[in-house]
Amino acid sequence: MKKKQYLCALIWIIMSVHTQSSRMTTARLRQMKKEGEKISMLTSYDFTLASLVDEAGVDVLLVGDSASNVVCGNQYTLPITVDEMIFLTRGVVRAAKHALVVADMPFGSYQISEEDGVRNAIKMIKESGCDAVKIEGCEDVLPTIRHIIQAGIPVCGHLGLTPQSVNQFGGYGLRAKEKAEAEKLLHDAKLLDEAGCFCLVLEKIPADLAAKVTAAVSCPVIGIGAGNGTDGQVLVLHDMLGLNHGFKPKFLRHFAHLADEVKAAVGEYINAVKDSSFPNSEESY
Ligand code: KIV
């Protein structure tokens, strides 16, 4: 082989190894569980913030259907559609250089029939470019989850407080406090694990139950309001950045107070416009 061809081949090999090893995969997440390395997951709904979160090194970007609340201002997650989720997910996928991108399948996109669920999962993968989908619940949707996995799409399960069932639960309270519901949740987690889910999200359940589930399944378990005994944690980005003053459940930690900073910056801008100090000569052409 000529020297130039050899060099090109070498560069190609180095680049492809680097690209493969720098992108998070479902296999790597399983490995992290085995090695006891905690997994960080955060929601993201747009290119700009997702770029920052990805650059900071988060393992998984979740385009949650919480976008319905956070982005669209709805009271519940129920109204957001497949096409709206795809629109938001595209921006996050473009931003993700390292993290695995998981998108929520919204309410109504997988409950009607197995065929409908598989079609919508394929549509989300094809049109948004996400790596995997997340689905709430177990019993009623297990055959659909199995079919989606058989179609080659990684599925993240979601048990405990499943916000798409808010009207059935009658609110966002702690789930699985009672023995019967806790036993059912453990059983469901095992079923989802056996069905091949690459990961499970457990939302707002007692910490000891979440730890028990984590030890009982082979796939990584990510908690939100589920204590410290899971394989990783997820929070809604806008909540942990303190962008949402009105929402402070017990499980939420504010890692920043951006609402105050945004308001202060906007206040300064308004004053500068009103007193004509913005733009100055250096900011003008
Ligand atoms: O939609 C969402 O943001 C979620 C997380 C809270 C896990 O499902």
Q: What is the pLDDT of residues 119-144, one digit of tens each?
A: 999 999 999 999 999 999 999 999 99
Is the four-CA dihedral 112, 92, 223, 133 of positive or negative sign?
Answer: positive
Per-residue pLDDT tens digits for 15-31: 554 444 589 999 999 99
206, 176 Cβ separation under 8 angstroms: yes
In a domain, 278, yes or no: no
84 is written with which tokens?
A: 């709206």
In a domain, 205, yes or no: yes
Q: What pLDDT is recorded for position 245?
A: 81
Active site members: 203
Give the number of other CB atoms < 10 A from CB of residue 229: 16
Q: Indicate the pTM of the whole model.
A: 0.92
Give the number of other CB atoms < 10 A from CB of residue 173: 9
In a domain, 281, yes or no: no
For the chain, give the percent of residues with pLDDT over 70.
93
Distance between Cα 75 and ligand 1 center (Å): 14
Per-residue pLDDT tens digits for 106-116: 999 999 999 99
Q: What pLDDT is recorded for position 246?
A: 84
Give the number of other CB atoms < 10 A from CB of residue 216: 13
Q: Is 207 exposed, middle or buried (0-12, 13-18, 19+ CB in 10 A)?
A: middle
Closest atom of ligand 1 to 66 CA is 1
Q: What's the structural domain count of the chain?
A: 1
Per-residue pLDDT tens digits for 12-68: 555 554 444 589 999 999 999 999 999 999 999 999 999 999 999 999 999 999 999
| pLDDT level of residue 206 (50, 70, 90 thresholds) | very high
For the chain, give the percent of residues with pLDDT over 90.
91
In a domain, 87, yes or no: yes
Cα gap 7→10, rounded to integer Å? 5
Per-residue pLDDT tens digits for 218-241: 999 999 999 999 999 999 999 999
In a domain, 20, yes or no: yes
Domain carrying residue 74: 2-258
236 lines ligand 1 (CB under 6 A): yes
Which residue, judged by its Cα, is nearest atom 8 of ligand 1? 64
Distance between Cα 264 and ligand 1 center (Å): 29
- CATH number of the domain that residue 107 is part of: 3.20.20.60
43 lines ligand 1 (CB under 6 A): yes
In a domain, 201, yes or no: yes
| Per-chain mean pLDDT for the chain | 94
Distance between Cα 179 and ligand 1 center (Å): 25
Candidate of 39, 42, 43, 109 to mutate for ligand 1, largest count of ligand atoms within 8 Å of Cβ? 43
212 is written with which tokens?
A: 């028990």
1, 10 Cβ separation under 8 angstroms: no
Distance between Cα 223 and ligand 1 center (Å): 10
